[in-house]
Amino acid sequence: MVEIRFDKKFKTIFSKIKDNLQRERIIKQIKKISENPEVGKPMRNVRKGSRELYIKPFRLSYHFLKEKNLIYILDLYHKKLQ
């Protein structure tokens, strides 16, 4: 089983989301990542090594450490702020 850890920035942003439906979508996608960590789009250049998953209207950024069997959820940001 893959261990999941959350960054402080992600926790802060997630706590500010009031819409329960949106929160459920994010939780569902995190479960999807835990089942298949390579489901997200791999990033390039400065963010190389991280992956992103689109959850309308947000992007969920995470890093998968295969050797430690760890997923580190980095950030959740609005698509327009990309």
Q: Which residues of the chain have pLDDT under 70?
A: 81-82
Distance between CA 39 and CA 41 in Å, rounded? 7
CATH architecture of 3-81: 2-Layer Sandwich (3.30)
Q: How high is the pLDDT of residue 2? A: 87
pLDDT in tens, 57-77: 899 999 999 999 999 999 999
Mean pLDDT of the chain: 91
Q: How high is the pLDDT of residue 11? A: 95
Edge-to-edge, what's the strand order for the sheet holding 58-65?
3-6, 70-78, 58-65, 50-55, 41-42
Q: How high is the pLDDT of residue 47? A: 87
E-strand ranges in 39-78 read: 41-42, 50-55, 58-65, 70-78
